[in-house]
Amino acid sequence: MAVHYAQFKDIDITAYDVLVVGCGFAGAVVARQMAQQGEKNVLIIEKRAQIAGNMYDEVDDAGILIHKYGPHIFHTKEGRVFQYLRFFSGFTAYQHRVQADIHGTYMPVPFNKTSMEIAFGEEKAARLIDKLVETFGDECKVTITQLRAQDDPELKEIADYVYNNVFLYYTQKQWGLTPDEVDPSVVARVPVHISRDDRYFQDDFQGMPAQGYTKLFENLLDDEHITVCLNTDAESVFDLVFQGPEEDAQLKEIRVKDVPFTGPIVYTGPLDELFLSRFGRLPYRSLNFEFETLDQDHFLPCGTVNYTVSEDYTRITEFKYLNPCNSPKTTIMREYSCSYEDPTKQTPYYAIINDENNAHYQRYLRLTQSLPNFYPLGRLAEYRYYNMDVIVSRALDLSAELLKED
């Protein structure tokens, strides 16, 4: 058994009940559910030369499993999501740890009681921790925005330290904006921990697919009702028919190979690109990844080091921590963030969330709302900052809804 691949030119579109654009978690989970629960014939078109979306991984020349589109660590609060994925892959018990390199000194991120001791020395840290506990309670989390809103001079000192040494430069590199300029939900992803828990995520369910994400996806897609066409871009195979000639006219139908496709179309790519960016491109941040294999056992003290006050790159990840192996070498990856200017050469990785961009996105979304069989789903199509588990959860919900309507 394996994934059923086909060339788009050989496809008889009338043989399919569901059309999915994009083969990340959003597309692949919907495809699996529709195929297995509903016995629907599902066609997935994917513009890349491989499945698994941003989760795609492969073994490099040093025998190390690397993530081609950025480090992906699985974590979720939702037992249902973890159970679902565990059907397709075993998971290791990996728990991600991150340190910030602050002028050559490593300290845990999220910033916690241990970081406080490294930054301020034990005696002063003890006083500051007492103040934090008194104000917010013990064993809890507080966002940098909440911390900066405090009037107490000692709390202000902590807030200034964390803001200037953990958030300011990293956020400027990552977003081209200061922490005050990004949506508060973005920096709230990494709160200060009033605890000694040095894990990056506290979710109940965490780990890495034991044989990697690509293998997990191969199992997910291994169903006789699912066909995958790689190297196939929706824009080049969709014929969009609008209700009128005006720019804001809504979609009437989507034709594929000259036939209106009337079954569900689950679209997981960027919505603006589907409409050839007629209202201007939605802003995204893109990334460049620089891989390097070193002739040494390990390079970093933990899975990822964030460079929060220096360097042009934001972080380095060492893959051996994520999926341990016996190679005498190690492969690391530096991430450089940049603006997204050229869809032919770059990948849109992060939606830039703010009111103006959300309104811009809504203008594109309105074009689709007249088409009852069109479902935008996923981090790109919904223009949101979603983690993998949320996407899997939303894909399970959408499939259940589609099967109920059937």
Instruction: Supply the angle between the helices 153-162 and 113-120 in degrees, to the nearest 10.
Output: 90
Q: How many residues bind ligand FAD (CB under 6 A)?
A: 33
45's contact among ligand UDP, ligand FAD, none, with CB below 5 to 8 A by partner kind, is ligand FAD
101's contact among ligand FAD, ligand UDP, none, with CB below 5 to 8 A by partner kind, is none
How many Å is the Cα radius of gyration of the chain? 23
Q: Does 187 bind ligand UDP (CB under 6 A)?
A: yes
Q: Which helix (H) or strand (E) holds 317?
A: strand 315-318
Q: Which of 77, 80, 127, 189 binds ligand UDP (CB under 6 A)?
A: 189
388's contact among ligand UDP, ligand FAD, none, with CB below 5 to 8 A by partner kind, is ligand FAD
Q: Which of 31, 109, 132, 265 binds ligand UDP (CB under 6 A)?
A: 109
Q: Does 349 bind ligand FAD (CB under 6 A)?
A: yes
Dihedral, CA atoms, 244, 246, 251, 255, nearest 10 degrees?
Answer: 70
Q: Tell which residue, 44, 40, 29, has the closest CA to residue 84.
A: 29
Choices 143-151, 216-224, 231-239, 299-307; region in contact with ligand FAD by CB under 6 A: 231-239
Is there a contact between 61 and 293 (Cβ–Cβ < 8 Å)? Answer: yes
For 203-262, where are the E strands, in sequence order?
205-207, 226-229, 238-242, 251-256, 259-260
Is there a contact between 29 and 399 (Cβ–Cβ < 8 Å)? Answer: yes
Q: Does 110 bind ligand FAD (CB under 6 A)?
A: no
Q: Tell which residue, 323, 326, 93, has the closest CA to residue 215.
A: 323
Q: Does 192 bind ligand UDP (CB under 6 A)?
A: no
The shares of helix, strand and coil residues in the chain, as percent rounded to the nearest 5, are 35, 25, 45
Q: Does 171 bind ligand UDP (CB under 6 A)?
A: yes
Residue 169 in tokens: 């430069």
Nearest to ligand FAD of 166, 398 (CB atom): 398
167's contact among ligand FAD, ligand UDP, none, with CB below 5 to 8 A by partner kind, is ligand UDP
Instruction: Supply the angle between the helices 213-221 and 25-38 in degrees, to the nearest 10.
Output: 30
Output the smallest distance, CB 72 to ligand FAD, in A.
5
Nearest to ligand FAD of 32, 113 (CB atom): 32
- Contact residues toward ligand UDP (CB under 6 A) are 100, 109, 166-167, 170-171, 174, 182, 186-187, 189-190, 306, 308
* Residues that bind ligand FAD in the complex, under the rule CB under 6 A: 21-27, 45-48, 53-54, 70-73, 233-235, 268-269, 273, 287, 349, 378-380, 386-389, 391
